[in-house]
């Protein structure tokens, strides 16, 4: 997927300085970079972002790196040194947005906090992503995505009733926080168009998860009800569950719309359930969820998965099955919607990566290059700042860049 050569990307001209590492902050800047922002990623010299060594490694670099860090310029710079901090202040003075996900107070200790940077650049938008936010009694506690998922209420609900909770298999707390960071950035840019001034954006991992928890809090407040883990079912929304097929596969069926439910019951040969007025709406169905699930299960367990899906598709009943990576890579719909893209790694090998979201009709985002090698753009970026070669050589000899 590539943007039209005749049209600029929506964020062309926006300069973003990334002072984060690992997942939440870098995921947010990845999204901005895909739509044209010039993202300058600051990494520690020698080691770089720890994500470079996470999960599967090939040729010394994580395969994840080529997704998380595409469309960024890598600058190897020691943020703990006075000279490195001075360079960051110069970069921030020319930036539109700074995204950081250090523990609150860390940048202030380096004279890179909001008060310092906004004084240099009143138009600056500064995005903070942290475990617990910039205020409150937990402010100074370390927090990763999994802890945010636990405190936000998600972890308690995952898994089977009576068994230990399980985590979602990806860093969903970090990714949700990144999305909120991008939303906040776009809102702040809109406000800056009116006022001419920047502002701070405070994103907490636990709050990003908590915001997804639907009616969990009002149900507790109104009646003292604590929502419990429910395995593959969705309590109070019926039917919506996983059902075993002949041969051991599973299908997911969401027949919880009123008219959809009637069509589902007709497909499985239970017209008396379809016509029961007590089951016409979700509240009545939820009171008899076990009976309805048992009826569906009795039908699915006698049929192979593909036969089930064909029948439900014909009846316009939402259904599917849990995709593996192989299913995704070979799915024609993914391919048709350009969600399976191929890039060239620095070693020349091709690599499949996810496409760009959201899809804009006039100015679609760019796939760009995979993750940059550590410090690849250091000289380029510092030259743009007016730092001459002799000074760069001295900084490099001192280990600052």
Active site residues per annotation: 174
Distance CA(327)–CA(148), nearest Å, equals: 30
φ, ψ for residue 340, nearest 5 deg: -115, 100
φ, ψ for residue 12, nearest 5 deg: -60, 135
Identify whether the C-beta of residue 219 lies closer than 8 Å to the C-beta of residue 199. no
Q: Coil, strand, or helix at residue 267?
A: helix
Whole-angstrom Cα Rg for the chain: 25
Distance CA(127)–CA(138), nearest Å, equals: 19
Question: Alpha carbon 123 to chain centroid distance?
Answer: 27
The residue whose two tokens read 């998965």 is 305
φ, ψ for residue 183, nearest 5 deg: -60, -45
Show Cβ contacts of residue 311 under 8 Å, excluding neighbours closer than 6 positions. 267
- Encoding tokens for residue 323? 């995709």
Distance CA(322)–CA(244), nearest Å, equals: 12
Question: Alpha carbon 214 to chain centroid distance?
Answer: 19
Q: Coil, strand, or helix at residue 259?
A: helix
SS (H, E, C) 26-90: HHHHHHHHHCCCEEEEEECCCCCCHHHHCCCEECCEECCHHHHCCCEEEEECCCCCHHHHHHHHH
- Long-range contact set of residues 48-51: C-beta below 8 Å, sequence gap at least 24: 48/74, 48/76, 48/374, 48/375, 49/21, 49/22, 50/21, 50/22, 51/21, 51/22, 51/23, 51/26
């Amino acid at each position: 997927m590539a943007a039209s050569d005749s049209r600029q990307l929506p964020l062309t001209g926006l300069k973003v300085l990334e002072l984060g590492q690992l997942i939440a902050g870098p995921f947010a800047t990845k999204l901005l970079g895909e739509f044209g922002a010039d993202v300058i990623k600051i990494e520690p010299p020698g080691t770089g972002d720890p994500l470079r060594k996470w999960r599967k490694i090939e040729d010394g670099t994580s395969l994840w790196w080529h997704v998380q860090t595409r469309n960024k310029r890598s600058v190897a710079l020691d943020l703990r040194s006075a000279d490195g901090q001075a360079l960051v202040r110069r970069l921030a003075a020319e930036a539109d947005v700074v995204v950081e996900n250090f523990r609150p107070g860390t940048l202030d200790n380096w004279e890179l906090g909001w008060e310092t940077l906004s004084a240099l650049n009143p138009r600056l938008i500064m995005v903070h992503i942290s475990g617990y936010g910039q205020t409150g009694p937990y402010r100074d506690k370390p927090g990763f995505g999994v802890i945010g998922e636990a405190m936000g209420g998600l972890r308690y609900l995952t898994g089977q009733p009576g068994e230990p909770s399980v985590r979602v298999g990806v860093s969903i707390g970090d990714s949700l926080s990144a999305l909120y960071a991008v939303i906040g950035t776009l809102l702040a840019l809109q406000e800056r168009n009116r006022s001419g001034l920047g502002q701070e954006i405070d994103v907490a991992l636990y709050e990003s998860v908590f915001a997804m928890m639907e009616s969990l809090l009002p149900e507790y407040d109104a009646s003292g009800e604590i929502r419990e883990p429910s395995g593959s079912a969705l309590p109070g929304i019926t039917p919506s569950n996983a059902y075993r097929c002949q041969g051991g596969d599973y299908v997911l069926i969401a027949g919880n719309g009123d008219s959809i439910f009637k069509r589902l019951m007709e497909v499985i040969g239970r017209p008396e359930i379809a016509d029961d007025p007590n089951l016409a709406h979700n509240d009545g169905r939820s009171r008899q969820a076990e009976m309805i699930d048992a009826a569906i299960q009795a039908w699915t367990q006698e049929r192979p998965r593909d036969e089930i899906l064909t029948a439900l598709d014909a009846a316009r009943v939402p259904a599917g099955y849990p995709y593996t990576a192989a299913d995704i890579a070979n799915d024609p719909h993914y391919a048709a919607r350009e969600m399976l893209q191929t890039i060239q790694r620095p070693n020349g090998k091709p690599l499949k990566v996810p496409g760009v979201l959201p899809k804009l009709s006039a100015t679609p985002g760019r796939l760009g290059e995979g993750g940059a090698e550590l410090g690849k753009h250091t000289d380029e970026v510092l030259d743009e700042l007016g730092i001459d070669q002799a000074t760069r050589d001295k900084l490099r000899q001192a280990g600052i860049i």
